[in-house]
Amino acid sequence: MLSAREIVSRVKSGELKVTEIVESTFDRVSKTEDRLNCYVTILQEEALKRARLLDESASKGKVHGRLFGVPVAVKDNICTKGVRTTCSSRILANFKPVYNATVIERLEREGAVIIGKTNMDEFAMGVSTETSYFGPTRNPWDLTRVPGGSSGGSAAAVAAGEATVALGSDTGGSIRCPASFCSIVGLKPTYGSVSRYGLIAYANSLEQIGPMARDVYDCALLFSVIAGHDPRDSTSVNLKPKDYTVFLREEVKGVKIGVPKEFFGEGTQKVVEETVWKAVHKLEDLGAEYDTCSLPSLEYALAAYYIIAMSEASSNLARYDGLRYGYSEEFTDTDWFTYIAKVRRNGFGPEVRRRIILGTFTLSSGYYNRYYLKALKVRTLIRMDFEKAFKRFDVLAAPTMPTPPFKLGEKIENPLELYMCDIDTVPANLAGLPSISIPCGFTTSGLPVGLQLIAPPFREDLLFRVAYTFEKNTGYVKEEPEVI
């Protein structure tokens, strides 16, 4: 499978045509998609049309764009003009936005070819892509297991070669979790570094769009394209765009790595702990220094996260009433409240309804101070703990997930057990920090394990450098799942 870097180089040299690349990608999709279910919407006709236009441009010597000819998959909660954007929910099953998200505009400006919209947990609520209205996605490494969530379709598509790179979104681990489970690279950027304009909201103060790729270079390349200020997004930080690929060098000498003990708590499987520590020692062998540390407030991170996320979800999803767009019911002799309740009961899946109800409760009179306000205070303590740690260390290292990928159906009936899977990823979202997951090994049965690296705000350059050094000195990036 060619990387994005290789595709752009070969197209520019005239060695390959964009149509050849796109046709090859769809050939892969035709061979594996019935087993994986990565896509909600496949854009074969549209992608081939764009490929022909790009080839015509290339024939005239006009090959401009850092992603010229690169097939990209897009998570189905990112708006695409005229192309249905469902959030993998019945309530938006036929919704077609009238505008593009900022990240889509930036992809197209750089010559990317959008292959399709990927499957996800409904409204990004889940860690397994099992809550999708369109059925679960399967893990390319083991078809009986989950690919992680909520960006499971994007991760599985990249791992299986159904796309070269992909966009996901990360509210509490939704890029890093499937990156870990599918043995690819996934970055949750600093909050405010990538425009959220056109991202269908789940929890505004937590979520970020981010890149997913098979290697660190492609991840840095895609991030370079989508990052940057956007005046249409009030949460966007006014920072100059960078080319993050220039930071990719094999050099970690003197880098100080902190390993917080809280990330290895109850529920972390021994194989994950051993594999992550092996990765830390590998970085030490390459010149980095490490020491253990403690972030005491992380004990409350998961509870604080779910209170904040569910509260914001309750507010954001109140707009889906069956009156203006999306799923609706036949209106009979009844009042508006009964009609809206019926639409929401039939339009939302059980996990989304659960989170709306819990979020409504935590925001209700008499409970706002007891739950939501207290969670915001805990969030501040968590941020302060990270700030203190970064006075000693350049980056922090931890497991991405406490377990390897689990079986389909294994946890879906136990919401609490599923929520516990987020324990290692939510702290970075609460603090707004950049965090990357990179492949760091496999279990004896061949299941992927991910290493999570966390850096201070807007230090994605440092994350990419450490991740790149690790990747270049290990062989995990060369491993491919058997489904290929």
* Active-site annotation, residues: 75, 150, 174
For residue 89, the number of C-alpha atoms closer than 13 Å in the C-beta half-sphere is 30
- Exposed / middle / buried, residue 14 (Cβ in 10 Å: 0-12, 13-18, 19+): exposed
Q: Is there a contact between 16 and 10 (Cβ–Cβ < 8 Å)? A: yes
- Alpha carbon 170 to chain centroid, angstroms: 5
Upstream peptide bond of 150 is cis (omega within 30 degrees of 0)? yes
- Alpha carbon 142 to chain centroid, angstroms: 20
The CA-CA-CA angle for residues 367, 371, 373, to 5°, reads 100
- Alpha carbon 135 to chain centroid, angstroms: 19
Give the DSSP letter string of 299-357: GGHHHHHHHHHHHHHHHHGGG--SSSSS------SS-HHHHHHHHHHHHS-HHHHHHHH
Q: How far apart are CA 338 and CA 334, in angstroms?
A: 7
The CA-CA-CA angle for residues 221, 232, 110, to 5°, reads 30
**428: which residues sit within 8 A by CB, 6+ positions away?**
188, 434, 435, 454
The owner of tokens 């092996």 is 278
Q: Is there a contact between 146 and 126 (Cβ–Cβ < 8 Å)? A: no
The owner of tokens 């039939």 is 346
Q: How far apart are CA 285 and CA 320, in angstroms?
A: 53
Q: Is there a contact between 87 and 200 (Cβ–Cβ < 8 Å)? A: yes
For residue 231, the number of C-alpha atoms closer than 13 Å in the C-beta half-sphere is 0
Residue 146 φ then ψ, to 5°: -80, 155
Distances (CA, A) of 346 to 128, 334, 353: 22, 17, 10
